[in-house]
Amino acid sequence: MRVPHPIQYQGSKRNLASAILCYVPGRFSRLVEPFAGSDAISIACAAKGKANSYWINDLNRPLAELLGLIINCPSEVANSYQKIWNQQHGDSIEHYYRVRENFNRTRDPRLFLYLLARCVKGSVRYNSDGLLNQSPDKRRHGTKPETMRENIFGVSMLLKGKTLISSLEYKDVLLNVNEDDVVYMDPPYQGVCGDKDSRYFTGISYDEYVSALAELNERQIRYVVSYDGRTGNKTFGKLLPDSLLLTLIELEAGRSSQATLLGRDDITVESLYLSPRLALEVEASPCFHRKFEDEQLVLIDPERHSGAKLFYGAAAEPGGEGKIKTSKAEYQKSKLSIPQRADN
C-alpha cells in the first residue's frame, strides 16, 4: 500500500516510519504523537493497522487544525486547495506572497496547506513575531490538486473516526497518557536550535524535556523518542542522559547532501530511544539499523554497546518487510566499528 502524505514538512519522518515502527509492539491500544508535525508516524502506523486509536497534537495551531480538516473534512480541504492552486496561474510568485499575507492575518489552515506545498523544501520559517516568512520555491508549483486530493482522502480513510486532535503544550499531553498507550515523540531538534526554533514556531527546553521523560519512566509509560543524531562522526545536539535508562537504536537516514557534494561517504544517522518498559516488551538492545530500499540491515556497534546482544527489528524477521544482511564493508561506511554476526 502506498502511504499517503498530503503535508510537505521539513523533518518529516515519512522515510523512516517503517524502521521506527519496527520498535513498537505489533498491536496496541493508542498511539499518541505530542509533536505530530506532518503526522507521518500516525499515518504509517494506521496503514499497518497497529493501533486502535490515535491522538495527534502539535502546538502549531494552524497545523493541528489542518490535520483535523484533512481527517474529518477531506472534500472541503481538497476543494479549497484546488481553488487556491488554480489561482496561481499568471503570477505564481505574487500569488504565493498574497496567500502568505492572508495566512499571517487569519491563520486559516487551508491557506497553510498551499503554503507548505509551495514553499522552499516544505520548510516553514517564522520571524520573531511568529509570522511565516518563508519564500516560494521558484521552480515548482506545488503538488497537483489531483495528487493532493488522493493523499488527503487516503489519510482521512486511515484516521477518521479514531483520532483525537489537539494543539497543546507537549507536557499537557504527557500528563494525560496512560499505560496502554505508546507515545512517539519527535521534538524540534536541539542540535540546530536549542530553546528557540524559527523552523517550528517554538523550541523546547532540554532540561524540562528530560524531566518529562523521567516522569514517564516512573509511570511505566511506553515511549519512543527521535532525537538528533550524527553525520559521520559529528554528533548533533546533547545526548539524552544515561539516568533515563533508554535503549539507543541508530537509524540510517541517508547520505548527507553536504557529504555528497564533497564526494564523501558520510551518512546521516538519527537516534531513536526506547523507554525501559518498551525496550523490554519488544526485546530491543542497542543497535544500528541500516535500511536499504528493499532490505534491512540491523547491526550492532560492539564498542559503543559492549555486552549488548544483536537485535533484529520486527520487520526484519522472516516473512517481514526486508531481508537481513551483514556486510562488513557497508557497516564500515557508516563510520562505526566492525559488526559481529547476529546470533539470534
Ligand X SMILES: C[S@@+](CC[C@H](N)C(=O)[O-])C[C@H]1O[C@@H](n2cnc3c(N)ncnc32)[C@H](O)[C@@H]1O
Give the binding site for ligand X (CB under 6 A): 9, 11-13, 34-35, 37-38, 40, 58-60, 63, 169-170, 186-188, 200-202, 204
Task: Indicate the residue among 188 and 286 with the shorter CB distance to ligand X.
Answer: 188
Q: How far is the CB of 324 from ligand X (least distance, A)?
A: 26
Residue whose CB is less far from ligand X, 188 or 313 = 188
Please give the C-alpha separations between residue 153 and each of 8, 116, 142, 173, 268, in angstroms, as whole numbers.
Answer: 16, 18, 18, 27, 33
- Residue 241 amino acid letter: P
Shortest distance (Å) from residue 230 CB to ligand X? 17
Phi and psi (nearest 5°) for 147? -65, -45
For the bound state, the minimum distance from the C-beta of residue 97 to ligand X, rounded and expressed in Å, comes to 23
Nearest residue (CB) to ligand X, 88 versus 134: 134
Residue nearest to ligand X according to CB distances in the complex? 37
Comparison of 188 and 339: residue with beta carbon closer to ligand X: 188
Closest approach, Cβ 297 to ligand X, in A, equals 23
Q: For ligand X, give the closer residue by CB, 95 or 199.
A: 199
For residue 278, the minimal CB distance to ligand X (Å) is 18
Torsion angle in degrees (nearest 10) through CA of 302, 305, 306, 307: -110
Nearest in space to 11 (alpha carbons), one of 46, 49, 61, 63:
63
CB 115 within 8 A of CB 99: yes
Angle among Cα 34, 36, 37 to the nearest 5 degrees reads 140
Q: How far is the CB of 329 from ligand X (least distance, A)?
A: 31
Of 13 and 289, nearer to ligand X (C-beta) is 13
Q: Which residues of 128-143 are buried (b: 16+ CB within 10 A; e: fewer)?
A: eeeebebebbeeeebb
Distance CA 122, CA 40 (A): 14
Residue 191: burial class (beta carbons within 10 Å; 0-12, 13-18, 19+): middle
Q: How far is the CB of 170 from ligand X (least distance, A)?
A: 4
- Nearer to ligand X by Cβ, of 94 and 208: the residue is 208
User: 7 vs 297, which CB is nearer to ligand X?
Assistant: 7
Closest CB 236 distance from ligand X, rounded Å:
13
- First and final CA of the chain: distance in angstroms? 30
Nearer Cβ to ligand X (155/299): 155
Q: Which of 285, 233, 11, 212 is nearest to 122 (CA)?
A: 11
Minimum distance, C-beta of residue 319 to ligand X, in the bound complex (Å): 28
Residue 41: name the closest of 17, 71, 9 by CA.
17
Strands 222-231, 181-185: parallel, antiparallel or unpaired by DSSP?
Answer: parallel
